[in-house]
Structures are given as structure tokens and as C-alpha cells.
A and B are shown apart, each in its own frame.
Chain A
């Protein structure tokens, strides 16, 4: 059974073909090739003025680089689930909504928006190719995939693309410095004092990330590290309860980026689950939230997450950690506005997250 409705837009092939054949090649526009997160080689213009971003991570990077006005359209996620966008770049909420599920991309709208490049998320791997087959613009699938280096490379690439490389480099330097500070503070703590944490992401107790850099950068160990990821390229894995019991992690971290009312897995549900009561994390009540990862980050938030996790794992090394203040500082560095994280924290009830 087909889960998502499919919009066949094959009738658009003909007008699209006409467009391709009839439109002259961009005069004087030089192009560059780039390899995206799916390994596809994409030819993008040297400089892009109109960007359709269906990948929230890219959208946020563009806003952080001060080029939000180059966005011509967004996807559903940014409007519905981004808790900071209304403060940081409210115009995003008025941009045309091009897709809800990914498969239902409104091709005519896309053509009308005349983007120079389209970004999609690699989690919908077929979407990139399927779009490119129908419209003449380049489509690139990018995501940090849970790695800081990928994130930095992305920021540099986007910076080049929109002519804000300077700002991008500045932000990358800033981020590296943040990470170094955390790393140095943790020092050479031996593995035995690095807590093992299980990540309950994607609104499910049993779906986890096998490799999540904020966790390791913060001096922790991923309980699921020995698992094979389900699909290469996304580092997700699905487990069962018995495996979780066999791991017996020190800490359980639930993805907290969902609105509290919409969280299917909560601290209470984990603590109250009768199957889990032999876990030491449950008995010691070391179950809480972290921001987590769908298939995209907010660069400010992921740095905050690293600091927050470091505080969680090694409270003695970060005694002066003030969640809200740190958050506001990091968000200001990226988006230039005060008090953004206060708002996010209130929405997600972050004040409840710190243990002990």
C-alpha cells in the first residue's frame, strides 16, 4: 500500500522540456560542481540569488549568514516545528510553502519561483533525482548528518554560494572555538568516567542515532555505538526493548525538540514503563531531554546542546553553566538577536531538563 499520496506531475515534463530547450544558457554565469551528501555530483551556479530551501538546516544557515532575503520558498517543517524562526526571521513564515511531505512538491510553484538552486534533505533520497528529472534547476541534497565537520563544510559552501563567505568563516571559527573550549575542559577524562547515554530520538523509545557528535564531544559514549545503522547515510537504528535492557545505559536522553504536548515519549513515560524498571538510568532517575536531531540541525542550538550535554555528563567540570544565558549568547552570535533562546526554552520547557 502506498503510504503517501503521489502527485503525478508527468504532464509537466512537456512544458519543462520546452523551458529547457528554449531558455538560453545563463550568459556569463560560471558554474561549479559539488558533491552532495548523497554522493550526487551537482552543478550549481557560482553565485545564487534565489534559493529554494527544503532543508531547514540550510535555511537556518542562510539566515545566520544574514542572507534570509535570498530564500524564495520553504518547506513545511520550518513553518510548523521551528521554534525560533518567528523571532529570528519572521519573513520565513510568509514564504511560499512548496511541499508538505516532500513527495508532493508543487512543481508549478517551484518553476514560478525561479530559484537558482534547490536544497533538499538526504532523508528523502529519491526526491533530489526525481525533482531534477522534472525541472531545470539544480537540486542538491545536503545535511550535516550529525557531524560537525559536515556542518562547517556546509556553512562554507553556502557562504560561497551566496557571497557571504567571510561571515561563514567567522561563524565556523566561532563554532570550532566553542567545541574546543568544551573539549579542553573535559581534558583526558578516561572512558570509565564518560557516561554511556542512550538517545531516544524521532519520537520513539526504540529509534536511536548510532553516532551523534554532540554526545561524544561532550564527553559521553553512545550506548548504541556497536550497532549497524539501518540505512547508511542517516546513522539511525531501530532497536527493541531487550537490547536496551542489555545495554543498561547510565543516562537516557529523549529528543526534546518536540512541543511538550506532542511528545510521544516523555520522561514520565520512561520512568513509568514497567519493562524498564530494572535499568539503572530509571532507578537513578537519570532520564531527561536533549534537543536531538531529525535530519537537520540549528547551528546555534547544536552548540548549545554540546555544552548542555557536557554539563549533564560532567557537572563538576561546568559548574557555572546557565542554560538560558548560554543559549541566548549562542543564538545571538548566529542570528544577531537577543533573547531568542529564552523564547525557545519556554516553548520546550528547557528549565526542567537539567538533572541534579
Chain B
């Protein structure tokens, strides 16, 4: 386990960074590669490269870099959460939105846009209501928390409830609030600013860190209730810990990037197909995969057309066929 883990760890760290650097070259504003390199060098030591158009620097530093960083962190956070929840709920079809996060966040954003106007960032309310939704799920599922079915079922019900509320708010919204909301709901990184990265980034990174620390423990938690308990795990407490941390990561990601689907489902699956279900590998590699995948999807979105297509559409367009192909081709039992 140790020798191969070393290689995988290296890959998990280096590949996203590589893709980040290469993705800096993608965008509507054509910057020749040589100038790109000079601009980056110029950022580090400004005095040596004074002749470049100021637009280059602004594009790199204020448009592309925050967007890519956000894609990296959001992709990692969503994929990690999905992987952790799949282990926890012993169900590889679970995704990071299963406990009502996306519906809660959508409702929060809509409420904020309609009542607080477009000047107030919808991220705050989105984050708040995402947490509220999960809290509602945990409370309602109540005593029977120890069995996973009521939790999932309650998640479905709470999701439906918030979606209905969302439809109600949307009905009374002005067309202009609706436009902004629609753009946000479809999931996109176009509005990414440094403020988003600096506010939501630390939350996601901290949550991701905790989940990575818990990677072996998730193996134990993926056993049946009885077994996990017999192995000495305080099932209820540790389950709540995982849910809480995964929720924080997903809520923070959703509040700044909208609802981007499929990452938390496809990432861990593909990783398990490649390296098996052991979570010491699956967890960090899922993070790396999610980061790369979202950056690449965003690159595709930016290269394909001159206007902004919500990146959520691209994660589906890219992800689903890849997933189906691998499912069909996979011969061995990979679960």
C-alpha cells in the first residue's frame, strides 16, 4: 500500500496544479503563450517585464486566476463530499446534494435576490439555507438517525419542500431578479472574484482537510451499523461529524458557484473504478479528480463559445458519456 500510495499522492497534488497552469492560457482574449509566460514572470518580478499590455495582467490576475482557483477548490470540495457521503451511506449512488443542500441553497439565493435585491450577495443566504436544510433533515430524521434510510428519505422530502418554496418565490419575482437567479442556479464560475475565493475558499479547504484526515475512518463507517459499532466507533457522533463537514464544504461551494451537478457522483466512481474502494486512496484522489474535472469543464465552456454557458451544463455533457462508457466497458467488479 505504501509504495503505490506515494505515486498516487504525487499525482493527486501535481495534476490539478498542472491543469491550473495550462488553463491560464484559455480564454476569449488571445494571449500568445510567450507573452503569457512573460506576464506570469512579470507578476513575480514586475521590474523585469514592463512592456506588456496592462490588459494581460488584469486578465490573468483578476479574471482567469480567481476563476480557476475557484474551479479547483469547488471541484475538489464537491467530489470529496460526494465520496465521503457515499461511504457513509453505503451507497455509491448518493451525491453531495442528497441531504437537501442544493434545494436549500437555491431557495436561499432566490429569497435573497427577491427581497434584498441584486445588490446584496445571494451567497450568504444560499449558504445559510443550505445549512438549515441539512439541519432540518438531521432533526427530523431524529432518533432513527442511526439507520440511514430515514436520513436519505428525509433528505428527499426536505429537498422537495425547499424546491416548492423556491417555485413560489420565483413566481412572485420580478423578471430581473429571475435572470440573475437562473444564471446562478445553473451553476457557473463566470462571476468568480477574489472575494469569493477568499471567503468561501478557506471554508472548503478546512472541510476538505477534515475529510482527508477522516479517510481511513470512512472505511470503518462504511460497514453496517452493527459492525461499525462492534469495531469501536461511536457511530452517531462520527456520522454527524462527516455529514457536518461534507455539508459545510458543499454549501460553501454551492453558494459561490451555484449548483454544479455530477461532480460528486462521477468523480468518486471513476476513482473507485481505477484504484478500488479503499478510502485512503479514494478520498484524496476524488478531490484531485474533482478539481481537474471542473477546471477542464470550465475550460471547455470558455473555449467553445464566446459567451457564458453555465458550467453545470458542461459537467453533465462531459461527465455522463464518460461515465456511461466506463460503466459499459468495466468488466471487473469495481464496487
Binding site for B on A (CB under 8 A): 1-5, 80, 101, 104, 202-204, 206, 227, 230, 237-243, 245-246, 248, 258, 262, 264, 274-279
Whether the Cβ atoms of A242 and B182 lie closer than 8 Å is no
User: Are the CB atoms of A230 and B307 closer together than 8 Å?
Assistant: yes
Given A2-B167, A242-B27, 4 more A-B residue pairs with CB atoms under 8 Å apart are: A104-B171, A243-B306, A258-B176, A262-B118
Give the residues in chain B near A240, CB-CB below 8 Å.
28, 190, 302, 306-308
Question: Is the beta-carbon distance between A206 and B307 smaller than 8 angstroms?
Answer: yes
Task: Report the 10 A-B pairs with minimum CB-CB distance, sorted nearest first.
Answer: A238-B307, A242-B29, A242-B28, A278-B55, A5-B171, A243-B28, A275-B62, A278-B54, A264-B118, A246-B29
- Contact present for B59 and A242 (CB under 8 Å): yes
Q: Is B35 an interface residue (CB 8 A)?
A: no
Beta-carbon contacts under 8 Å, B154-198 to A: 163, 166-168, 170-171, 174-176, 178-182, 185, 190
Number of contacting residues on B, CB 8 A? 35
Known: A240-B308, A242-B29. A1 touches B185 (CB 8 A): yes
Question: In the complex, what residues of B have CB within 8 A of residue A202's CB?
Answer: 179
Residue interface bits B57-78, CB-to-A below 8 A is 1, else 0? 0110011000000000000000
Quick check: B307 and A245 within 8 Å, CB to CB?
A: no
* B28, B62, B119: the one within 8 Å of A246 (CB): B28
Q: Is chain A's binding surface mostly helix, strand, loop or mixed? A: loop
B30 within 8 A of A: yes
Sample 23 A-B pairs with CB under 8 A, ordered by A number. Answer: A1-B166, A2-B167, A3-B182, A101-B171, A104-B171, A206-B307, A238-B308, A239-B307, A240-B28, A242-B27, A242-B29, A242-B59, A242-B63, A243-B28, A243-B29, A248-B55, A262-B118, A264-B118, A264-B119, A264-B176, A274-B62, A275-B58, A278-B53
Q: Assess whether A3 is in contact with B62, with CB atoms less than 8 Å apart.
A: no
Residues on the B chain within 8 Å of A258, using CB = 176
A200 CA / B190 CA spacing, docked (Å)? 16
B276 at the interface (CB under 8 A from A): no
Is B117 among interface residues, defined by CB-CB distance under 8 A? yes
Distance of A192 Cα from B163 Cα, bound (Å)? 54
Q: How many A-B residue pairs have CB under 8 A?
A: 82
B89 → chain A, closest Cβ, in Å?
A: 24
Contact partner, A245, options B29, B170, B175, Cβ 8 Å:
B29
Instruction: Look across to chain B and name the residue whose beta carbon is closest to the beta carbon of A102.
Output: B175
CB pair B167 A262 closer than 8 Å: no
Q: Is the CB–CB distance between B59 and A277 below 8 Å?
A: no
Secondary structure call for the B interface: helix
* Chain A residues in 8 Å Cβ range of B28: 239-240, 242-243, 246
Distance in angstroms between the alpha carbons of A246 and B166 in the assembled complex = 38
Q: Are A246 and B308 in contact (CB under 8 A)?
A: no
Cα distance, A274 to B60, chains bound together (Å): 12
Task: Give the chain B neighbours of A262 by CB distance below 8 A.
Answer: 117-118, 176
Tell me the complex Cα distance, A101–B170, Å. Answer: 10
With A101-B175, A245-B29 in contact, is A3–B170 under 8 Å at CB? yes
- Is B59's CB under 8 angstroms from A5's CB? no
**Given contact pairs A3-B170, A277-B58, A227 touches B308 in the complex (Cβ within 8 A):** no
Q: From known contacts A203-B179, A243-B29, infer whether A227 and B306 are also in contact, taking CB-CB under 8 Å.
A: yes
The residues of B that contact A275 with a CB separation of less than 8 Å are: 58-59, 62-63
Shortest beta-carbon distance, A36 to chain B, in Å?
Answer: 22
Contact with A along B257-292 (1 / 0, CB 8 A): 000000000000000000000000000000000000
Residues of B near A204 (CB, < 8 A) are: 179
Point out the residue from B63, B167, B168, B176 that lies within 8 Å of A203, measured CB to CB. B176
Asked if A206 and B308 sit within 8 Å, CB to CB, the answer is: yes
